[in-house]
Amino acid sequence: MVNIIRRILTVGILTIFLFLGLGDFTGQSAIALTTKIEPVPEEILYSSQTKLDDSSGKVWQVVLFKQVYLGQKSNINLRLVGFPGSEELIHPQPLRITSNTGQIWDAPDIFLDEAPAPTIGQYDFNEILPILPTEPLNLAIPLPGAKSINISVPLNVVKEWKLLTINNKVKYE
């Protein structure tokens, strides 16, 4: 129980630092909000939520979330929700993640046929998040005709995402 309280306090303090901008000295203005909820017994949902603009100025809600179930491996997904006027996404298409140093990863599309709405995408980050470098990233969502939607993820948001890889083992008491 003490470990859980300590972990919650640590995440809370780090979130406050990120919220105040003390964790990022690059001048980026994006602020992410980390939350922890228990939607049902024996399930904990951690999430980092922010709004980011794509390269054409359209706003996207970017939500990275980790679901932890008693006795099971955690599940980490990134959900992108386009606000009105955003491009419609095609499924299934992987999300391409590129680091500033040129490393590239493809996150599989969770929606194999159809999403809940045409401007929603959700991608499997289970294997990718633990190996992502702590540096600004670019997300590229493929569109028809070799076009893509590009969203820059600032350093402070990436740092918050990395916090979700901490505490993979949760004790239920």
In the prediction, which pLDDT does 167 show?
Answer: 53
Phi, psi of 41 (to 5 degrees): -55, 140
CA distance 76 to 97: 15
User: Is the backbone peptide bond immediately before 92 cis, with ω within 30 degrees of 0?
Assistant: yes
pLDDT of residue 80: 95
Residue 9 gets which letter from DSSP? Answer: H
User: What is the chain's pLDDT, residue by residue, as a tens digit (173 residues)?
Assistant: 434 444 444 444 434 433 334 333 333 344 445 555 555 566 778 889 999 999 999 999 999 999 888 778 888 999 999 988 888 888 889 999 999 999 999 999 998 777 888 889 999 999 999 999 999 999 999 887 778 999 999 999 999 999 887 754 433 33
Structure tokens, 113: 């046929």
The structural domains of the chain, with segments of one domain joined by +, span 2-163
- Mapped onto helix, strand or coil, the DSSP state of residue 149 is strand
